[in-house]
Chains A and B, each alone.
Chain A
Amino acid sequence: MSEKKGYLDMELLRFTTAGSVDDGKSTLIGRLLYDSKAIFEDQMELLEETSKQRGEEGVNLALLTDGLRSEREQGITIDVAYRYFATPKRKFIIADTPGHIQYTRNMVTGASTANLALLLVDARHGIIEQTKRHAFIASLLQIPHIAVCINKMDLVDYNQEEFDKIKSDFESFSSKLEIKDIHFIPISALNGDNVVDRSKNMDWYEGSTLMHLLENIHIGSDQNHVDCRFPIQFVVRPQSKEYPDYRGYAGRIEGGVFKPGDNVTVLPSGFTSKIKSIDTFDGMVEEAFSPMSVCMTLVDNIDISRGDMLVRENNKPKVEQDIDVMICWMNEKKMIPKGKYTIRHTSQTARCIVKEIKYKMDINTLHRMEDEKEIGLNDIGRITIRTTKPLFFDSYRRNRNTGSIILVDEATNETVAAGMVI
C-alpha cells in the first residue's frame, strides 16, 4: 500500500531545456529518462537499429526526441517535443526545444508553462551568445527557477576554476536580467556526474545533483495565491429535474484563494455578490486556488457569461483598453503596424489594433533598438495595443495567467504572437 500513498503525494514539475545538440542536451535528457527508467526496451532497440542504419557510433539519443520523419531525415529538431518521466517524488514534463531554427518561437512556447528552465553550457566554451539569449528568454517569460548545467566537466578535468569562472561570467551578465532563483551545477551528462548520482570526480562541489534539485526545488509559490482572479469559461445550467435553477460559473482559478462566503465583484459589470458554493463533481470544496478547475455559484442572480471575471472588491486587476505588451512574434508574416488582430486573454476574446511599436529588442545584446519598427518571425519587441473592449489584466510579472495574451491573424486564423503585459 506504500505505492498508493506515494503517488498521492507526488507533485508535477514542468521544465524546459535549452541548448544546442552540441551542448549535450539530448544526452542529458536521454540520461534523465534512462536513469529514471522512462526509456523502454523496444524504444532502445529501435534507437540502436536506427543509429546503426545511419552509420552512427553508439546510440543516438537525439533520435528519441526527434519524432517526425522529416526531422529524422534532416537530422534536425523542428518543434517542441514533450517528454515525461517520474520519480517517487515528482512527475516531470520536459518541453524540449530545438537549438537552431525558429529558436525564439519554440523556446517561448516551452517556457510559457515551465516552473524551471534548464540551461546547458559547454564547459570548454563557457558563456556564448546563445547562452545569453536563452537566459534572456527565461527571464522574459519569468520562469521561476533556472538551473545552469555546466556540462562536459570531464573534458576540462573536472576543474573547479573552470566552473567558478563560468559561474561568475554568467552572474555578471544575468544581473541585468530578472531571475529570481538560480542554481549552478557542474555535470557530465555523458558519464553521469552530478546528474542523478553525486560525482566522485568533483569533491569540491557541495551543491545538489540535478535530479535532487528537480525533485526538491520549492514550487509551491510559483502560482499567485494572493490576487483572486476567476475568469468564467463556461456557464453550467443543467435545467434538469434535479437542478432546475442551478446556475454555476465554471472556470479555473488563475490567482488567489476563493472560499464560500467570500464577497466578490464581477467584471466588467461591477456587481457584487457572495460565493454560495464552490462545486466539483466530487462535492463542495472549502477553498479553491490556482490551478484548480471548479464551478462556483453566487448568492445573487446576476447576469454573468464567458469572459467575465470574479475578483475581490479591494484587489482588482487593471481594467483598460490601452495595453503595453512585450511580444514575441511567431509567424513568417511580419507584424503589420496599425494592423488589426484578434486578441485572446484568459477566457476573453476581443479585437485589437497595434497602435505603436516602441522598440525591438536585440536579444543578443539586450539593447533596445528604438529605430527598428519591423517585427518579424522570432523578434521580440515592445508595443502598445488598443482593444475593442476593456480587458481585466495584471502585469505578467505579477501573474503569468492574467498577464499573458496571444494575437491571432484574422485572415489565416494562425496564432502569430505571444505577449506579456508590462
Chain B
Amino acid sequence: MSSYNLTHLMELESEAIFILREVAAQFEKPVMLFSGGKDSIIMFHLARKAFHPGKVPFPLMHVDTGHNFPETIEFRDRLIKETGETLIVKYVQDSIDKGTAVEEIGINASRNGLQTVTLLEGLEQGKYDCALGGARRDEEKARAKERFFSHRDEFGQWDPKNQRPEIWNLFNGKKKMGEHFRIFPISNWTEMDVWQYILHEKLELPSLYFSHKRDVVIRSGVLLGKCNYIQLKDSEQWVEKNVRCRTIGDMTCTGVTESNAVTLEEIIEEVATTKVTERGGRADDKRSEAAMEDRKKEGYF
C-alpha cells in the first residue's frame, strides 16, 4: 500500500489546490494578493495548477507601496505577460494623494503599514468578497492561530477570539453582505517547504533571492539595502556586502541577509542551517511583540 502515499510536498500542494478550488466555488468575486515575493509566486503557480487547462478564475492584485525593489516589479510584469493572467495594481501613493493614508515621518518611516489602507480601498472598489494571501503559519506567532478561511467584518478586521472552528476539510465561507474573507492556502507550509517546492517545480524567482553585491546599512541588527527611501543617521554609512533577500517586501523594512548562496540547492542548505527566523529581518515585525497581531486586526493580511 505504500505506493499510495504522497510525499509531504505533494500533499501540501494538493491541500492548497483543494482550497483554491473551494474559493472559486464558494465566493462570487475573489482576488489573489500578489507581491512578487516567493510565497505569492508559489500561490500563483498553485492557482494555475488548480484550474488547468482553464485560466485562473480570478485576477491578481498588487498593492504597490512605490518603494519596491525594481527587480520585483520587472519580474512581476514579465510573469503576467508570459502567463496571460490578469493583474490589478493599487498604489499607496494614490491613497496618500487622496488623504486616506498619511505618510509616516522620521528615520524609520515606512509605507508598509499604509498598505492596509490601500488594500481595503482596493477590495472595496473592486467589490471583492475574498482575498487570497500567501501567509504561512510558521512566519509569526499570531499567524499560527489563523484559519485557512479567515473571516473579516465589514471593516476588514480580524477578531482572533471569535474565529470559526475549522474541522476536517469542510470550509465555511458563508458571510453577510459587506463582510469578506482572507484565505491562506499555504498556511501549513514552512520556509523550507517553500524552497523545496520551488526547486521541485523549477520555479523562476526574482534575482533578489540569490546572493548579489549590495550597499547596505545595519540598523537595529537588520541589514537594509541602499535606496532613495532610507535616510542615514550621522553615525551610519553604506557598506558593500554579499547579500540576498529571505523575504521581499517594501524596501524600507525588508532586511537582507549576508549570504553567498547563488543556487536553490545552496539556499536550501542555508535555510536548513540558519538560526534566525525568516521574519527576523523584518523591521515591521520588530516594532512590538504583538506588532503582527495588531496589524492583522486592522485589516493587514
A interface list, Cβ under 8 A from B: 1, 3-4, 7-12, 40-43, 46, 50, 64-70, 72, 78-84, 86, 90-91, 93, 105, 108-109, 112-113, 219-221, 223, 225, 233-234, 236-238, 240, 242-243, 246, 248, 250-252, 257, 279-282, 289-293, 295, 306, 330, 342, 344-345, 347, 400-401, 404-406, 408, 413-415, 418
10 additional A-B residue pairs with CB within 8 Å, beyond A7-B7, A219-B5: A11-B7, A12-B6, A40-B277, A68-B161, A220-B2, A233-B18, A252-B17, A400-B168, A406-B172, A408-B174
For the complex, is B48 an interface residue (Cβ under 8 Å from A)?
yes
A251 in contact with B21 (CB, 8 Å): yes
A10 in contact with B7 (CB, 8 Å): yes
Count of B residues near A, CB < 8 Å?
71
Total contacts A-B at CB 8 Å? 202
A406 in contact with B170 (CB, 8 Å): yes
Secondary structure at the A interface, as helix, strand, loop or mixed, is mixed
A-chain residues with CB within 8 Å of residue B22 when the two chains form the complex = 233
A223 in contact with B4 (CB, 8 Å): yes
* Residue from the list B11, B21, B52, B137 in contact with A291, Cβ < 8 A: B11
A50 in contact with B289 (CB, 8 Å): yes
Chain B minimum-CB-distance residue to A50: B289
B interface list, Cβ under 8 A from A: 1-2, 4-15, 17-18, 21-22, 24-25, 48-55, 137-138, 140-145, 160-161, 163-172, 174-176, 187-188, 190, 192-193, 196, 199-200, 265, 268-269, 272, 274-277, 280, 289-290, 293
CB distance from B201 to the nearest CB of A (A): 9
A4-B199, A42-B276 as given contacts; A415 in contact with B167, CB under 8 Å:
yes
B167 in contact with A406 (CB, 8 Å): yes
Bound Cα distance A54, B83 (Å): 53
A79-B163, A91-B8 as given contacts; A295 in contact with B269, CB under 8 Å:
no
Bound Cα distance A400, B24 (Å): 24
B-chain residues with CB within 8 Å of residue A405 when the two chains form the complex = 170
A-chain residues with CB within 8 Å of residue B11 when the two chains form the complex = 12, 291
Query: What are the nearest 10 A-B pairs in CB distance?
Result: A67-B141, A281-B49, A12-B8, A413-B174, A293-B17, A238-B54, A91-B8, A281-B52, A418-B167, A42-B280
A79 in contact with B145 (CB, 8 Å): yes
B-chain residues with CB within 8 Å of residue A81 when the two chains form the complex = 144-145
CB distance from A44 to the nearest CB of B (A): 9
B-chain residues with CB within 8 Å of residue A80 when the two chains form the complex = 145
B-chain residues with CB within 8 Å of residue A40 when the two chains form the complex = 274-277, 280
B-chain residues with CB within 8 Å of residue A221 when the two chains form the complex = 1
Bound Cα distance A69, B14 (Å): 33
B-chain residues with CB within 8 Å of residue A41 when the two chains form the complex = 275-276
CB distance from A130 to the nearest CB of B (A): 21
A50-B289, A93-B188 as given contacts; A279 in contact with B141, CB under 8 Å:
no
A67, A225, A342 — most chain B CB neighbours (10 Å) = A67
A293 in contact with B289 (CB, 8 Å): no
A-chain residues with CB within 8 Å of residue B49 when the two chains form the complex = 280-282
B-chain residues with CB within 8 Å of residue A344 when the two chains form the complex = 170-172
B1 in contact with A225 (CB, 8 Å): yes
B-chain residues with CB within 8 Å of residue A220 when the two chains form the complex = 1-2, 4-5
A-chain residues with CB within 8 Å of residue B161 when the two chains form the complex = 68, 70, 78
